[in-house]
Structure 1
Amino acid sequence: MQYRNFTKDNIKVSALGFGCMRFPILDNDSSKIDEEKTIEMLRYAIDNGVNYIDTAYNYHQGNSEYVVGKALKDGYRKKVYLATKLPVWKVESYNDFNELLDEQLKKLDTDYIDFYLMHALNKERWDKIKKIGVLKFADEVKKSGKVKYIGFSFHDELDVFKEIIDSYDWDFCQIQLNYVDRDYQAGEEGLKYAYNKGISVVIMEPIKGGKLANPSEEIKSIWNLYEEKRTPAEWALRWVLNHREVSVVLSGMNNIEQVKENIKTVSNAKANSLSEEELKLIDKVTDVYNEKIKVGCTGCEYCLPCEQGVSIPDIFQIYNDLYAFGTEENSKKAYSSFIEKGIDASKCIECGRCEAACPQNIEIIKYLKDAHKILTK
């Protein structure tokens, strides 16, 4: 495993972090985690050098932290740095900060959290929790020992990111970055801005929620132009890790094969190791994707549950797949099953709650209409 420096204390963290948002599930229900497979995967990763485990209060509809806590029993807790996130949208008073943290410590069955993040900050959430006293809370929990290091994850525009970075002596931050989303939200400029301020950076969505791992034949043909054969996921991870400013890249792995592949990839994906030829090839693939992808959904599920039952991320996935991956027959077949179940886009009443919750700031209502029109043709 490759290790990189993290925080001003230069902690050695594995360049690959295990993202705990996409565990294997049962009955196609994201709240029902397959605990046996998940614990096996997590412990295999740890046994093979992964020491950064990233979960959150709301992952798997609130159940990820419980399962991570179980996986870290039998001595595994001491082998890792554990990261989780404060659900800032649930905070209405100062006491809520401490109550939520204590709840998370209990769910994770641990006395402390190594890396604690303010989750999914945007301008509105940042302004709200700042007024409630989040920076005082950050100082207090570090002094108490319940939290070792404080950071935030981010979903908004670059200027907001810079404002937050400049507002506190953060230990680290977490941003979205992949070769398709170079200028999206904080992007590469935000990465360099934080790094130059001495703030370590964790990268989420390096494979864009798995989207970049299953390309069309057109994109496969571009990858195959390179002499050394690599999987699409490997290309995506290597592009992110080529940035010297990146300390950890998170991958939401959901089977043991992905774990093994990513560990192998990250072991030698050093900073500044990609050649000019490799970078140009990645640029070419980026151009093709940008032309084809219709909706920038990562499947984070922040828009759920929809009160009308609309399966928003799943609709966008099959809609994007139709264009980016050429799956017209399968996408339309899948959407027919959504209609039968009453979870299709026609059930949307345009209340706008999903758009308010979306960290990607997607015009969900508009794209649901577009998707319904195309998928029912």
Structure 2
Amino acid sequence: MERREFLKSAAFTALASTLVHEARGAAAGMPYRTLGRTGEKVSLVGLGGHHIGRKYVSEQEGIRIIRTGLDSGVNFLDNCWDYNDGESERRMGLALKDGYRQKAFLMTKLDGRTAKSAQEQLEQSLQRLQTDHIDLIQIHEVIRMDDPERVFAPGGSLEYLEKARKEGKVRYIGFTGHKSPEIHLHMIETAEKHHYTFDTVQMPLNPLDAHFDSFAAKVVPVARKHNMGILAMKPMGDGLVLKTNTVTPVECLRYAMHLPVSVVITGCDSMHILQQALDTAKDFHVMDEAELNSILKKTETVALNGQFELYKTSHNFDGTFHNPQWLG
């Protein structure tokens, strides 16, 4: 896609007035945006859960990152049932003790495609996170064209999640994926056929995505049409975007924040990286066309064929491909 065409695409329409209003409304601190049809206010930057559970990050440091983020105005927390064999949720549960749970809009994800597996995984997440409810539960890794049919089938995961919502265990329901915009669109279309609308949708949004099989160009406009909360993930592609030596971490964050998203989720494995994310969010202003065009121009060549977006073009990031038993 040509840069000019992308800049004029539906993903960028009606941005300025909305984003400036919401960002400036919290000029003294963390900007907040509305999480789509839920009406919830969430911080412009959200903290990813995977990084705090990695082996090179100590438990104490992981807890410190989460609590410092919450004390600094972040309220959106991301996690997943399968992250680091549950260690990420366990550490986040520890971080949310002593009154910190009340500061957080807590999201986690599950892999189960059956009601039974979804129930088992949600119960484990509630236990690890030491909470009686999840604010947002998301169906993780919708990366196969038949995932939507499995989710909506009788006895599928959505059947249980709606039951859990009625029981007060979850408040909102969404889905995630990193493989293909077409699969995301198929999930939304399948939901429509069942007279259903997901509250949120999560996808990788970074400068490389603009040039190759773009979620920003293809999925974001459709999600906006349905008033779904749009969650940006992989603003740096788990470091792969930075390996192109074309853009800086701050440029990656600013690019994602410029899009019409509710929150930009970024992984922080140190206090330095956390502070970088906090500063970028608090200093956010809408990019003009020249600044945006500069970022897209710098990344155009390296983005060809998805060679640095391996979550789209390989199975390297597909946890449920390597562990199909998680699907149930």
Q: Tell me, yes or no, whether TM beats 0.5.
A: yes
Q: Paired residue for 2:83?
A: 59
Q: 1:260 to 1:295 in 2, by over 3 A?
A: closer
Distance in 2, Cα, partners of 1:300 & 1:68: 27
Q: 1:300 to 1:260 in 2, by over 3 A?
A: farther
Give the drift of 1:51. 0.3
CA contact (8 A) 2:141 2:178 kept: yes
Larger radius of gyration: 1
Give the drift of 1:161. 1.7
Whichever residue aligns with residue 170 of structure 2, its letter is: V
Q: Paired residue for 1:177?
A: 205
Q: Select 2:126's aligned residue among 99, 105, 109.
A: 105
Task: Give 1:236-251 correspondences, 5 Å limit.
Answer: 236-243=252-259, 245-251=260-266
Distance in 1, Cα, partners of 2:230 & 2:310: 22
Q: Paired residue for 1:207?
A: 236
Whichever residue aligns with residue 233 of structure 1, its letter is: P
SS in 2 for 1:254: coil
Task: Give 1:218-237 correspondences, 5 Å limit.
Answer: 219=246, 232-237=248-253
Whichever residue aligns with residue 109 of structure 2, its letter is: K
Whichever residue aligns with residue 190 of structure 1, its letter is: V
Q: 1:129 to 1:69 in 2, by over 3 A?
A: same
Give the drift of 1:102. 1.1
1:130 aligns with 2:152: yes
CA deviations 1:236-275 (Å, max 9, x no partner) are 11111112x20000001111011111111111324xx212
Q: Select 1:162's aligned residue among 157, 175, 185.
A: 185
Whichever residue aligns with residue 174 of structure 1, its letter is: Q
Percent identity over the alignment? 27
Distance in 2, Cα, partners of 1:296 & 1:110: 35
Instruction: Out of 6-15 and 283-292, give the one that drifted further.
Output: 283-292
Q: 1:117 to 1:261 in 2, by over 3 A?
A: same
Whichever residue aligns with residue 60 of structure 1, its letter is: N
Q: Paired residue for 2:11?
A: none
Distance in 2, Cα, partners of 1:354 & 1:100: 18
Give the drift of 1:159. 3.2
SS in 1 for 2:236: coil
Distance in 2, Cα, partners of 1:263 & 1:301: 29
Give the drift of 1:303. 5.1
Distance in 1, Cα, partners of 2:206 & 2:317: 20
CA contact (8 A) 2:36 2:262 kept: no
Whichever residue aligns with residue 124 of structure 2, its letter is: E
Unaligned runs of 5+ in 1: 224-231, 306-352, 358-377
Q: Paired residue for 1:50?
A: 74
1:276 aligns with 2:289: yes
Q: 1:46 to 1:214 in 2, by over 3 A?
A: farther
- Quote the RMSD (CA, aligned, Å): 2.6
Whichever residue aligns with residue 55 of structure 1, its letter is: N
Give the drift of 1:194. 0.4
Q: 1:73 to 1:251 in 2, by over 3 A?
A: same
Q: Select 2:62's aligned residue among 1, 16, 38.
A: 38
Q: Paired residue for 1:15?
A: 44
Q: Select 2:167's aligned residue among 119, 138, 144.
A: 144
TM-score by length of 2: 0.79
How many residue pairs match? The answer is 286
Distance in 2, Cα, partners of 1:21 & 1:301: 15
Distance in 1, Cα, partners of 2:119 & 2:53: 31
Q: Paired residue for 1:188?
A: 217
Task: Give 1:111-122 correspondences, 5 Å limit.
Answer: 111-122=132-143
Whichever residue aligns with residue 152 of structure 2, its letter is: K
1:74 aligns with 2:90: no
SS in 2 for 1:289: coil
Q: Select 1:260's aligned residue among 256, 275, 282.
A: 275
SS in 1 for 2:52: coil
Give the drift of 1:67. 0.6
Distance in 2, Cα, partners of 1:81 & 1:297: 30
Give the drift of 1:286. 1.1
CA contact (8 A) 2:53 2:87 kept: no
Q: Paired residue for 1:296?
A: 309
Unaligned runs of 5+ in 2: 1-29
Say which structure, 1 or 2, has more relative contact order (CA 8 Å, 6+ apart): 2
TM-score by length of 1: 0.70
SS in 2 for 1:150: strand
Q: 1:301 to 1:114 in 2, by over 3 A?
A: farther
Q: 1:163 to 1:37 in 2, by over 3 A?
A: same
Give the drift of 1:128. 2.1
Q: Paired residue for 1:315?
A: none
Distance in 1, Cα, partners of 2:182 & 2:310: 22
Distance in 1, Cα, partners of 2:51 & 2:185: 29
Distance in 1, Cα, partners of 2:172 & 2:323: 31
Give the drift of 1:13. 0.3
Q: 1:290 to 1:156 in 2, by over 3 A?
A: closer
SS in 2 for 1:253: coil
Give the drift of 1:141. 1.4
